[in-house]
Amino acid sequence: MSTDRLGQLAEAGVSIWLDDLSRERLQSGNLQELITQRHVVGVTTNPTIFAAALAEGEAYDEQVRELAARGASVPDAVREITVGDVQQACDVFSGTWETTGGVDGRVSLEVDPGLARDTEGTIAQALDLWKAVDRPNLLVKIPATEPGLPAITRALAEGVSVNVTLIFSVERYREVMGAFLDGLEQAEANGHALAGIASVASFFVSRVDTEIDKRLEKIGTDEALALRGKAGVANSRLAYAAFQEVFSSDRWQALAAKGGRPQRPLWASTGVKNPEYPDTLYVTELVVADTVNTMPEKTMMAFADHGEVHGDRVTGIAAEAQEVFDGLERVGVDLRDVFLVLEDEGVDKFEKSWTELGDTVQSQLDLARPDGSS
């Protein structure tokens, strides 16, 4: 009898979320199957995922024809398509949301990445998406850019559950947690029930190794090369130590006493990009309770096949993780620049995917119009 490796991961306190969503998954029953058989308890989406889903297969054809027939604009069509998928996914996860008391069963939908540097625009769209989806298990994704921080606070203050995305540095993560605490305090002052507000903080992993490894290889010394593939996990372990510190503070305890739920760390970008590294690296090495690991299906199936749970791999080893970062600075890696580059690239990548999504919708609307007009 095969070992249920994903079951062991879930038992260790890691919530398994799928980093993918498509109408085909929804209509075929594949998403429900992953919930039933693979312990999946949530889904994350982003513009890249939606662009890929829409470009493949025929699942969206009927809706696109209907949108074309009534002359829908591209922005309106994108909104209806993405909101519709997320609503369906929220409904599929409604049982999980209920049985976990609202901890899991969550589905994320991102604000337009073009608003990443626009605080007021982000706030307006976050509130609009929350109302449009109209599901209690939605998480609105807001990027952790500097202009995004006050938007996170404002959205939470209005009772909106938030997935904070594109976090790369522990310094920025601390600011995110501060924005979260501010938001809950304001939500409570605004009369919102804190127990109804959820949040996760998406801390990116593999992209950190990709950028730092490139710099280590350019430096080229034995000491530098020995540090390859270590920064992503070390960075996440330092983030978890910060999480433990903040969520044991008196300030947090006061919010918890009023029903507040902690903002769980979510390990994102956990698909391994360097084929020389174990394909389950960012799952096995980041096992710790009260976290989420959102995985591409390929990574999930790899772990189901040969992943290993060795117990808690995070708590109490912040000093060891710090040694990795001390070593990186010693060999000449400019960590501040690394994190600036990663944030800019992350926003740029999602903006390009959003444009691609719009272009795909435009071409499909054009094809669906009876006269073929654009």
Q: How far is CA 2 from the centre of its chain?
A: 30
The one-character DSSP state at 145 is: S
Query: Residues 141, 218, 273, 298: which is the catalytic one?
Result: 141
Structure tokens at 89: 């996914």
Residue that is written with structure tokens 């996440």 in the block: 236
The one-character DSSP state at 161 is: -
Residue that is written with structure tokens 């902690």 in the block: 262
The one-character DSSP state at 156 is: H
| Helix axes of 206-219 and 318-331: crossing angle, nearest 10 degrees | 40
Active site residue 298: no
Structure tokens at 11: 């038992």
Whole-Å CA distances, 208 to 18, 66, 283: 21, 43, 15
Identity of residue 176:
V
Of 168, 172, 180, give the one whose Cα is nearest residue 139: 180
Residue 294's SS3 state is strand
Of 313, 260, 263, 257, give the one whose Cα is nearest residue 283: 313
Structure tokens at 232: 């992503």
Cβ pair 123, 152 in contact under 8 A: no
Catalytic residues: 141
